[in-house]
């Protein structure tokens, strides 16, 4: 495929089982074509979310749609802080008026190296997809006001799972959750916070319960 594109040919990826590149390994094709500075466009579909994911080059096997972030700065930062440990790809809608502030907040909260894809005016005449780190996209917007216009979908790579676990004391977390939640609910909360396996945490929660019972 790369050879065809590099020779000037056009290649279409078509699927008879739903939208291509959603929940399948196809995003690697987009990532590889972008690595070779080859253009990638998306054919109009029923949803801006799936269109942006398809062309983003970020992981699509697990993703979460967050809609619009709060308009007020403090509320927006609070929501981003809550999402900072989310390991799934995140999809946001954003307005041209707030896009620069939103990405600057992501640089501060998610970190400057978090991968982003800003998809603007998808399937329209001035369609643009900016891919890079949060810091790189912030710099592009600062230097080119035209990139702050139109309808926007922002796709954000998930947090690194290993890094999330490094910053969370799992034993302390399980102790706290065990005191206020049933084991099944506590294990689900722990899995969401750390990116670990719910079944593993459930087994550990049950072990805690048995240990407390035996000691009594």
- Across 15-24, 48-57, 74-83, 97-106, least confident range: 15-24
102: which 2 tokens?
Answer: 């939103």
pLDDT one-digit tens code per residue, 109-161: 899 999 999 999 988 888 999 999 999 999 999 999 999 999 899 999 998 86
Spatial distance between the Cα atoms of 108 and 103, rounded to a whole number of angstroms: 9
**Are 111 and 80 spatial neighbours (Cβ–Cβ below 8 Å)?**
no
Kindly state the percentage of the chain with pLDDT values over 70: 86
The first and second tokens of residue 86, run together, are 């989310």
Nearest C-alpha neighbor of 135 from the set 92, 98, 105: 105
10 or 20: which carries more pLDDT confidence? 10
What is the model's pLDDT at position 30? 81
197 with 191: CB under 8 angstroms? Answer: yes
């Amino acid at each position: 495929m790369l050879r065809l594109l590099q020779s000037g040919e056009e290649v279409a990826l078509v699927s008879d089982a739903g939208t291509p590149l959603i929940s399948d390994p196809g995003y690697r094709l987009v990532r590889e074509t972008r690595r070779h500075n080859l253009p990638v466009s998306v054919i109009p579909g029923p949803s801006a979310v799936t269109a942006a994911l398809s062309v983003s080059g970020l992981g699509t096997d697990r993703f979460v749609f967050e809609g619009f972030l709060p308009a007020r700065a403090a509320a927006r930062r609070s929501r981003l802080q809550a999402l900072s440990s989310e390991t799934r790809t995140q999809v946001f809608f954003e307005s041209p008026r707030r896009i620069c502030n939103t990405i600057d907040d992501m640089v501060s909260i998610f970190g400057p190296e978090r991968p982003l894809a800003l998809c603007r005016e998808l399937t329209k005449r001035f369609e643009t997809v900016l891919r890079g780190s949060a810091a790189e996209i912030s710099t592009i917007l600062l230097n080119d006001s035209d990139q702050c216009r139109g309808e926007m979908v922002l796709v954000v790579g998930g947090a690194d799972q290993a890094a999330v676990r490094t910053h969370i004391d799992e034993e302390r977390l399980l102790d706290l959750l065990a005191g206020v939640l049933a084991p099944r609910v506590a294990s689900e909360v722990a899995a969401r916070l750390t990116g670990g396996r719910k079944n593993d945490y459930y087994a550990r929660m049950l072990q805690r319960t048995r240990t407390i019972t035996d000691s009594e």
